[in-house]
Structure 1
Amino acid sequence: MRIASAALFRNAVILAGLIIVADQFTKWLVMVEIMNPPRVIEVLPIGNMGLNLVMAWNTGVSFSMLRGTGPWLLSGLAIAVSIGLLVWLGRLTARLPGYAVGLIIGGALGNVIDRLRFGAVFDFIDFYVGASPDSWHWPAFNLADSAITVGVVLLLFDALFQSTDKGKNSAGSEAP
């Protein structure tokens, strides 16, 4: 088993910390400074697509799954997953999956802070397609959700395309 370099581990943990700070700052900025009083703010209307700022509270996880489970259980699960990711991070040897894991940990813990403070996660980015009131809206999200998504995409990219070390990908698993 390989052990991550101290620099990779440290940098990924710093990245996670930066994501937490940026996530909490953007949520505060939108919640307290921009959306006071609450309303829909059109940020980027382009033809039949657009981006709005909204105030949305998600009591579940991605796409409001597990809604009603309770903030303590979801927070405990996210913390347990983050601890598992930290252990895995300690074994990674390549930067791409290491930084991807840092993004996921930071995003997960950013949303845990919301659940423990408010009982729900504050989402404020609303992407839509369509010009009518029946427009298709992606579920509202935030910076933490974006970090988790980018981290997962980077891990998938690494697993699929970054084969090194005689058939193993940079995460140390057998390449497909």
Structure 2
Amino acid sequence: MSIRLGVLVALAVLVLDQGTKTAVLAWSDNWAGPMHVITPFLDFVVLWNAGISYGLFPQGEAGRWVLVAIKVVAAVGFAVWLARTARKVEAFALGLLIGGAIGNAVDRVVYGAVFDFVSLHALGYRWYVFNVADVAVVVGVIILLYDAFFVRASKTPPSGSSPKAASDPAGHPPA
């Protein structure tokens, strides 16, 4: 059943997200500085995102709760969508979105901001700092977009044509 898949994925994302955040926060107390080098292209940092995305538009206390409400409404909306789908790929993607939204909402409720810690960089360029919930949301959106534009769209007949008009019962094209 697709709803089970979506719920299990959402729970897995939530547990993985909160578990990694808790572990990195505890571990960061032992770091010599604000950053810990993991590989030549990956660092762990402690970054509290009080903004919407990428630290943009930092929010005060009222904004914090508005963002929590938006994430909860999004998670509920995705859950309604999940309950209505029978497609496993869609359920999987929706589970990623639900788990990611709830994971970051938990941070805002508990800490007042989202904890981001993964910092990728190469050739002098640094990308934004993110967490497991952010990755789940991005991957969920990519799966839904790919499914909508390439998988489902390829199965939809062109408008104005019907399968019956395309050929007669013997398989001959219309005259």
Question: What TM-score do the two structures reach when normalised by structure 2?
Answer: 0.81
Determine if contact 2:116/2:130 at 8 Å carries over to the other structure: yes
How far apart are the structure 2 equivalents of 1:119 and 1:96? 33
The answer on whether the counterparts of 2:50 and 2:112 sit within 8 Å (CA) in structure 1 is yes
Alignment of 1:51-62 (within 5 A): 51-62=42-53
* Counterpart AA for 2:142: V
More helix by share: 2
1:75-134 CA-to-partner distances (Å, cap 9, x unmatched) read: 00000011111111112121111110100110010000000001000000001122xxxx
Are the counterparts in 2 of residues 104 and 152 from structure 1 also a CA contact under 8 Å?
yes
Decide which of 19, 37, 58 is 1:67's aligned counterpart.
58
2:30 paired residue among 36, 53, 59: 36
Larger Rg: 2
| Counterpart amino acid of residue 83 in structure 1 | V
Deviation, structure 1 residue 164: 7.2
Instruction: Using the TM superposition, give the Cα deviation of residue 51 of structure 1 relative to its aligned residue in structure 2, in angstroms.
Output: 0.8
**Residue 140 (1) aligns with residue 134 (2):** no
Q: 1:136, CA displacement in angstroms?
A: 2.2
Aligned length: 154
Q: 1:158 to 1:165 in 2, by over 3 A?
A: closer
**Equivalent in the alignment of 1:78:** 71
> What letter is aligned with 1:142?
N
Normalised by the size of structure 1, how large is the TM-score?
Answer: 0.81
For 1:173, the equivalent position in structure 2 comes to none
Seen in structure 2, the aligned counterparts of structure 1 residues 26 and 153 have a Cα distance that, compared at 3 Å, is same
SS in 1 for 2:98: helix
Kindly state the Cα deviation for residue 10 of structure 1 after the two structures are TM-superposed. Answer: 1.6
Identity of aligned residues (%): 37
The structure-2 alpha-carbon separation of the partners of 1:141 and 1:12, relative to structure 1 and needing over 3 Å to count, comes to same
Residue identity in the other structure for 1:154: I
Contact 1:39 1:54 (C-alpha < 8 Å) held by counterparts: yes
* Partners of 1:84 and 1:65 in 2: CA distance: 24
Q: Which residue of 1 aligns with 2:17?
A: 23
Q: Tell whether the 8 Å contact from 1:54 to 1:124 is kept in structure 2 after alignment.
A: yes
CA distance in 2, matches of 1:155, 1:164: 12
Q: Which runs of 5+ in 1 are unaligned?
A: 1-6, 169-176
**What is the aligned partner in structure 1 of residue 8 from structure 2?**
14
Question: CA offsets per residue over residues 23-61 of structure 1, 9 Å max, x none?
Answer: 00000110002443453111111xxxx110110010123
Superposition CA RMSD, Å: 1.9
Structure 2 match to 1:119:
112
Structure 2 spans left out of the alignment, 5+ residues: 158-175
Partner SS state of residue 71, structure 2: helix
